[in-house]
Structure 1
Amino acid sequence: MARAFEELVAEAESVSVDGWDFSWLDGRATEQRPSWGYQRLMGERLARADAALDIQTGGGEVLAGATKMPPVMVATESWPPNVAKATALLHPLGAVVVADTDEPPLPFADGAFDLVTSRHPATVWWDEIARVLQPGGTYFSQHVGHASVFELVEYFLGPQPEKVRRGRHYEDETADAQAAGLDVVDLRFESLRIEFFDIGAVIYFLRKVIWMVPGFTVAEYRERLRELHDLIEAQGPFVAHSTRFLIEARKRG
């Protein structure tokens, strides 16, 4: 039985969006996963590392899935609720969580790590990544690609200029990595289907992934949300596409 717009809105506004766990969306939205399996590949590299850094770890959920931590394991995070959550989750596993502003410089010495990882970093400071890596060290990450979930972004914000649509393009990121002294040894890109089954799922997603529609609030977009609710009720799930790319790069030297 269809649920009322106001009921769905109230539920989605009240739920916590701390951490980087999307299990609240189970049964309400689906997202196709990249074929390569980032967490497994990350875990394989962590098991071989001596000192590793996970940048923008969120609530630590992805890093916590590694089966073996290196002797030195550090994670950074900027958002206070996530810092607390990651600390509680990762400290028992032997990882130290450092509160960081996500602005250069990283609070570590030159060449401190032989592996740097990050899943879906909001910002990528290539010069800093290169600086804290040892010569021959590896950066291994899954990035959000260009024009990701733009069907939803443009539903609320209207058509975006080409410069905005191209942001985070893997070709540009590759060039920036190389300019910082990193050689890209693996690069894979995929476009992945997302379906939102109710307006509550849309609201939760936009509250959690705050850069999609900057400054999003239900009050600001209530009428547009109501229209989308009616559209989903009449035509079925709202379909969008996320983009992801896997990048592995090694520091020269």
Structure 2
Amino acid sequence: MNTPKVAEHIVKWLKDYAENAKVNGFVVGVSGGIDSAVTSSLCAKTGLPTLCIEMPIHQAESQVNRAKEHIAQLKERFSNVSEAQVNLTSTFEDFKTVVPKVDASAKLNLALANTRARLRMTTLYYFAGLHGLLVTGTGNKVEDFGVGFYTKYGDGGVDLSPIADLVKSEVFALASHLDVPESIQKAQPTDGLFGDSRTDEDQIGASYDELEWAMKMQDTGKSVDDFDGRQKEVYAIYTRLNTINQHKMVPIPVCEIPSDLK
């Protein structure tokens, strides 16, 4: 990948889109992870107003510190960058008190994890509405179009997605080119939605390097039976997630009414 040219291309694409949409700039949720750091850096390089928002919900201190370090660095480098912090922990806890009580289970934990992401999406759109900004997605290609590793109408609820055609290794290459803090580049990827130390690899069962490989194999028409050992295991993980998460990747189905019934 020609990293400098790719960065230049995305920055121009972002600026052109914002100017054509007649909006002021961008709002990005900054988590302390590599994807949001790269996305906010690219937005900052457009020269348009870029609002970075940190939205902790029972967040690990390490994640909060990385987010703060990145935002501080961006503000030093770019005069068009501003920040806000909205601690959504109390909002999340209030939500849990008004919904019906259910026994603790894996389904409950996942529902609450997705609720965190959706509270953050609502917050981003609040600021976008106030300041005339575009909510900028931070998902990469493996997450968005490979395994569907994001929350529908949470971190998937965005106006545009500047890095969604880049796999994770390419995002890391951009991070180095854009001088993203080393602490973020070295951190294990995590969605931070469960309030513990689990990583993306812990949840998915495969690393991003492995998932990138599986995505390439899918493009060549391979099946699970074409592999054995760890490759077979990884490809099975990838194809299962790719199948069950198609509802996130395809347009919302619309029931079309026959003209003779209208």
Question: Structure 2 length as normaliser, TM-score?
Answer: 0.37
Larger relative contact order, structure 1 or 2 (CA cutoff 8 Å, min sep 6): 1
Q: Normalized per residue, which structure has more helix?
A: 2
Q: Normalized per residue, which structure has more strand?
A: 1
